[in-house]
Amino acid sequence: MSKAQAPFRYDIVGSFLRPEQLKQKRAAFAAGEISASELKAAEDESIRSLIEKEKELGLKAVTDGEFRRRYWHLDFLASLKGIEEVPAEQWSVKFKGKQPKAATIQIVDTIDFDPHTNPFLEHFHFLKEAVGDTLVKFTLPSPAMLHLICCVRATDYTPIPQYTEEAALYHDIASAYQKVIKALYDAGCRYLQFDDTSWGEFCDTEKRKIYKERGFDLDQIAEAYVKMINLALEAKPQDMKITMHICRGNFRSTWFSSGGYEPVAEILFGSCMVDGFFLEYDSERSGGFEPLRFIKDQQVVLGLITSKYPELEKEADIIARIQEAVKYVALDKLCLSPQCGFSSTEEGNLLTEEQQWAKIRLLRHIAEQVWQDA
């Protein structure tokens, strides 16, 4: 019998490579050559095709590939009340190679979520209807990302009057996310994932040094983030699963953070009340499995299959690494996934759609060898 609840033995982070025809439509829309309704029709068609492919490959929960988004995070964060997307001279972090289109967000008013106007609820409704009886997995940036981008990465942050006390800011972010969780649940969402690069940065020795020089206590911020996320999770009904994906950067097959999980493991794995962690483990940049000793009741999804490069991993190597992880987490609490999505921004990583699907086939084949309930 297959594992009944998410995360599943073979699972996905969420984003997929945009089809070429959708990229062309998005470029045409940006150039003013087609209308918003024409772009939406193209997105709808591409998402329906993606759903069929995900089902064909046996995924237990399917996503919309984030096909309606430019970025994995900014589109949603800018949709919150009190948040505004603004131009930027450069990206807020430096990737080891090409850089994304520069943009950022600012806090301009009281932060809130309006279920009556937010477009992401409409995105979920379409996906839920399109998948039929299959479980939907919906992905959103973590609450931590809003604070990280606006208040930590930004070198020119000045709090607006209502947030001179930072505790009020943390509270309002958590409160907005409580409304997000409730609205998605009422719409039928039972599997939600928070994507979060803050923890990858907090694991990076060089970044920790730079932030310390700027006056930030990352251990203190980490504790505040866990408290904020847990407050948001108080809105989670018992029959809803919420997981967290931790990433070190994923744009055009490049990255921006490096370092094992040890600096954040105790506070994050030991205290954060998510149902599972999707953890990047596809290269030496993520360190070893020892930090997993702090895992409590959460499921751990090992991101051992890279989404950055087309070369297929050797099955024996992946199985051996899973067995290494069993030293710290019982096999029954482990699952397998790619380390990240295939297209965290609309540009996508440097591989073809067929190479992307080959990764998913490999993922399933390995999982079915390792777990009887895959």
Domain membership of residue 248 (yes or no) is yes
Residue 29 lies in a domain: no
Give the type of residue at 366. I
Comparing CA positions, the residue from 47, 77, 227 lying closest to residue 145 is 77
Whether residue 356 lies inside any domain: the answer is yes
Q: Which residues contact 353 (CB under 8 A, 6 or more apart)?
A: 17, 19
User: By C-alpha distance, which of 295, 182, 301, 299 is closest to 232?
Assistant: 182
Distance from C-alpha of 107 to C-alpha of 240, rounded to nearest angstrom: 30
Residues linked to residue 135 through DSSP beta bridges, in sequence order: 61
Instruction: Give 83-137 pLDDT, tens digit per residue.
Output: 999 987 765 555 455 555 678 999 999 999 999 999 999 999 999 999 999 999 9
Distance separating alpha carbons of residues 54 and 310, to the nearest angstrom = 18
Compute the distance between CA of residue 68 and CA of residue 83 in angstroms, rounded to an integer. Answer: 19
Give the length of the chain. 374
Kindly tell me if the per-residue pLDDT of 348 is higher than 90: no
In a domain, 185, yes or no: yes
284 within domain boundaries: yes
Answer yes or no: is 214 within a domain: yes
Task: Please state which of the ranges 19-33, 95-109, 315-329 shows the lowest mean pLDDT.
Answer: 95-109
The answer to whether residue 15 sits within a structural domain is no
Please give the residue range of the domain that contains residue 186.
62-71+109-370
Give me the number of domains the chain comprises: 1
Q: Write down the pLDDT at residue 258.
A: 80
Q: What is the CA radius of gyration of the chain?
A: 19
Task: Residue 294: give its domain's CATH number.
Answer: 3.20.20.210
CA dist 202 and 197 (Å) reads 9
Digit-coded pLDDT (tens) for 233-251: 999 999 999 999 999 877 7
Residue 215 lies in a domain: yes
Whole-prediction pTM value?
A: 0.96
User: Both tokens of residue 277?
Assistant: 């962690």
